[in-house]
């Protein structure tokens, strides 16, 4: 009997899952249906082509999606840049081309009993038709244009959700100076203008560098974030330099303070031996799922409130050239980083007045800008999601959120946990909202590993 596996989303997670299934398919006849709401498979926002040549923040030698061929992506890059080496940071759009290519190759070499069908459209609901004669019917994926696709199993690979609409931005969606989507910046900003970027992470860096194209007129840029911390820079280091079971770190998992103290001690020892603290961050990152699950709920909350910002700047780092350009913008006085909170945005004609409070202060300050760009990052709280599919899944009780609003509750192999607390046998999730249970679930290596486990389960090889 032929089965259908529907994958909703054809960004990194969906494309890699489809590729892995095509390479190791179920033994029975199978149709894989890959549905993408955008205009191109294997692209999404992360790897879309932009006027600005955004680069990956991981070297080319560490981004293969095939664990059996760790230099696969580097060899693909060398078709365009013959002199590229494993430590080069290459354009993100090239990674989208690579994902598209490996998916095509997997489809061409797949055995005859498995097929890949590409569908463009937005899935707005996943539902279960009523039982007929005591027999369960397949799930039904309904698209915005009215099409419906029956599915024996469905995988949600939806990518990063959009940023939250913060209280200070409500009522400003139509104001010309407010930009909620950082990838849709106004093209009219000039050197005489001023811009506020809200947030100071990797998205802020992308926006700031887009505003400072070499040879262009650079506006005055301010950023405000809770801690005012910038991502640290990348170096050439050995990702596998620190070995071991991590027993010393895991034994301290009752307290986030003790975990950080043990991590700092390990970093000092590694540096004393001539190593790089980034080697320790990579080691801790691999232990993160075990550490996260071992931390009591109160300690998880303490981490999110007090320590996450510091982890993020060490974990999500900048390629050297990007770090140098940001440093140049700061030294030249074109970029100012502030720690604080926005209290209010007040329209003043075509401008916005930013009312804010510095960290540790009780007094408000204000300044006017020509544009406010929201770069606060994804909002993983599904209760606030405006996505029709997420809203439908919540309303039907097919998915549920974790207590910390980090994403979706999942069981083994990414099975979606229903509102009743039961892991589904038919609905799965793959993507960054796995952070609710694994914490580290945003980078290619972690997502690739999750995709491999889920593919084995779906194919009956686990």
Average pLDDT, the chain: 91
Percent of the chain at pLDDT exceeding 70: 95
The answer to whether the predicted template modeling score (pTM) of the entire model surpasses 0.75 is yes
Structure token pair of residue 349? 């004609």
pLDDT of residue 193: 85
Helix or strand or coil: residue 7? strand
Band of residue 243 on the pLDDT scale cut at 50, 70, 90: confident
Neighbouring residues of 97: CB distance < 8 A, sequence distance ≥ 6: 76
Nearest Cα neighbor of 345 from 327, 325, 369, 329 is 369
pLDDT of residue 190: 73
Average pLDDT over residues 409-416: 96
pLDDT over 80 at 208, yes or no: yes
What structural domains does the chain harbor?
3-54+91-162+380-458 (3.50.50.60), 167-232+317-374 (3.50.50.60), 247-312 (no CATH)
pLDDT over 90 at 215, yes or no: no
pLDDT of residue 41: 80
The string of pLDDT tens digits covering residues 254-307 is 999 999 999 999 999 999 999 999 999 999 999 999 999 999 999 999 999 999
Neighbouring residues of 31: CB distance < 8 A, sequence distance ≥ 6: 2, 3, 4, 5, 114, 115, 117
The string of pLDDT tens digits covering residues 102-132 is 999 999 999 999 999 999 999 999 998 876 6
pLDDT over 50 at 214, yes or no: no
CA dihedral 361, 366, 372, 378 (to 10 degrees): 20
Nearest Cα neighbor of 21 from 37, 44, 4 is 4
End-to-end CA distance of the chain: 21
Beta carbons within 10 angstroms of residue 303's beta carbon? 21
Strand partners, 119: 35
């Amino acid at each position: 009997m032929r089965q259908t596996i529907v994958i909703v989303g054809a960004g990194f997670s969906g494309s890699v899952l489809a590729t892995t299934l095509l390479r190791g398919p179920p033994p029975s006849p199978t149709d894989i249906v890959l549905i993408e709401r955008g205009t191109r498979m294997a692209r999404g926002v992360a790897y879309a082509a932009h006027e600005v040549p955004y680069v990956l923040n991981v070297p080319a030698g560490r981004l293969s999606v095939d664990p059996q061929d760790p230099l696969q992506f580097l060899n693909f890059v060398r078709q365009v840049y013959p002199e590229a080496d494993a430590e080069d940071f290459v354009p993100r759009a090239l990674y989208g081309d690579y994902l598209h290519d490996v998916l095509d190759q997997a489809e061409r070499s797949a055995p005859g009993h498995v097929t890949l069908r590409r569908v463009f459209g937005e899935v707005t609901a996943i539902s279960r038709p009523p039982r007929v004669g005591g027999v369960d019917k397949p799930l039904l994926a309904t698209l915005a244009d009215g099409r419906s696709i029956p599915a024996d199993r469905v995988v949600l690979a939806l990518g990063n959700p959009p940023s939250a609409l913060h209280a200070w931005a409500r009522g400003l969606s139509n104001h010309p100076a407010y930009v909620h989507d950082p990838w849709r910046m106004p093209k009219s900003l000039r050197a005489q203008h001023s811009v506020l970027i809200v947030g100071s992470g990797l998205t802020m860096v992308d926006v700031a560098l887009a505003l400072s194209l070499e040879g262009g007129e650079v506006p005055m840029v301010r950023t405000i974030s809770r801690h005012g911390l910038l991502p640290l820079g990348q170096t050439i280091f050995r990702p596998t330099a620190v070995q071991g079971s991590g027993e010393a770190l895991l034994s301290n998992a009752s307290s986030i303070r003790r975990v950080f103290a043990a991590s700092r001690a390990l970093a000092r020892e590694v540096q004393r031996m001539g190593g790089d603290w980034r080697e320790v961050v990579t080691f801790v990152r691999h232990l993160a799922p075990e550490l996260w699950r071992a931390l009591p709920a109160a300690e998880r909350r303490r981490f999110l409130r007090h320590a996450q910002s510091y982890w993020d700047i060490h974990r999500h780092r900048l390629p050297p050239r990007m770090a140098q350009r940001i440093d140049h913008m700061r030294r030249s006085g074109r970029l100012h980083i502030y720690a604080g909170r926005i209290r209010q945005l007040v329209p003043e004609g075509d401008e916005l007045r930013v009312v804010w409070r510095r960290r540790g202060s009780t007094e408000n300050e204000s300044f006017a800008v020509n544009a406010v760009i929201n770069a606060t990052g994804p909002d993983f709280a599904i209760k606030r999601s405006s996505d029709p599919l997420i809203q439908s899944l919540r309303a039907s009780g097919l998915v549920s959120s974790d207590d910390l609003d980090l994403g979706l509750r999942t069981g083994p192999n990414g099975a979606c946990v229903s509102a009743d607390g039961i892991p589904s046998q038919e609905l799965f999730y793959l993507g960054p909202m796995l952070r609710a249970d694994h914490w580290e679930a945003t980078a290619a290596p972690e997502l690739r590993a999750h995709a491999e486990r889920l593919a084995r389960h779906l194919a009956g090889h686990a």
